[in-house]
Amino acid sequence: MKTKRLVVLWSIAALLLLICACAPAARPVLEAGDSEVKLRSIQSRVFDTPDENRTMRAVIATLQDLGFVIDKANSSLGIVSATRLSGYVLKMTVSVRTRGETQVLVRANAQYNLQAIEDPELYQRFFVALSQSMFLAAHHM
């Protein structure tokens, strides 16, 4: 009798877990994983140059070096989007805007197949590549 009850309990637990696992991530439209502040600091870096155009051209060159094809860009907003195909789809949008008189703020966000990337290490790698291409150090905000 006791084993039977145990089997039923196990079954319910397993079923619940499977349902949870299969459910899509909640709030796909207005999602903001951790906190916006934390995410922004992971995805942003500051460079000591006032030249927005030069920075954006370096961003585009870096994306090309990393195997991306550029999809779209807009100079009045200072944004660029690019896609990398390599058995998976990696999409990235990067924005550049001036910060004060002497700096630019670069922000990147990326998406791997159907998921937003929130891993700080991946953004760090991108900014390392970018600062090599700009011959400038990347500062955190």
Chain residues binding another protein by CB under 8 A are: 3-4, 6-7, 10-11, 13-14, 17-18, 20-22, 25, 53, 56-57, 60-61, 64-75, 80, 82-90, 110, 112-113, 115, 117, 119, 122-123, 125-126, 128-129, 132
The distance of closest approach from Cβ of residue 78 to another protein in the complex, given in angstroms and rounded to an integer, is 10
The distance of closest approach from Cβ of residue 106 to another protein in the complex, given in angstroms and rounded to an integer, is 14
Which residue number, 85 or 141, has a Cβ lying nearer to another protein? 85
Give the DSSP per-residue string, the chain. Answer: -HHHHHHHHHHHHHHHHHHHHHSPPS-SSS---S-HHHHHHHHEEEES---HHHHHHHHHHHHHHTT-EEEEEETTTTEEEEEEESSSEEEEEEEEEEETTTEEEEEEEEEETTEE---HHHHHHHHHHHHHHHTSPPBP-
The distance of closest approach from Cβ of residue 102 to another protein in the complex, given in angstroms and rounded to an integer, is 22
